Amino acid sequence: MTGVSEILVLILLISGILILPRMFKPAPKAVRAKKKKPISKMTRAGIVVSILIPAIAAVGLKPWSGNLVLFVSIGIIPVLLAWAMAWILAAQKQ
């Protein structure tokens, strides 16, 4: 009989810890969501160019056949530098 009572005590503890607080949780307060500023045309163009430059460099240089350093220097680094400059300039505007 002790085994059954121990299982019942464990079920009672689990329900008391996990289920009951969720049942008696107060209603959430209405919080106004901040309106997100839409992405500008320049940012959208930057995203597209950020995808196209490495893709074109990958097709032309074929980094999987041994031109990895050249691919990184022509396809990846210019994109990273451009986004770093955009990030720096965006901070100066604010």
pLDDT digits (tens, 9 = 90+) for 51-85: 999 999 999 989 888 889 999 999 999 999 999 99
Domain boundaries, the chain: 67-94
Residue 64 is classified by DSSP as G
d(CA 21, CA 2): 28
pLDDT over 80 (residue 31): no
3-state secondary structure of 89: helix
Q: pTM of the predicted model, to two decimals?
A: 0.57
pLDDT over 80 (residue 9): yes
Token pair of 85, please? 């400059």
pLDDT of residue 73: 92
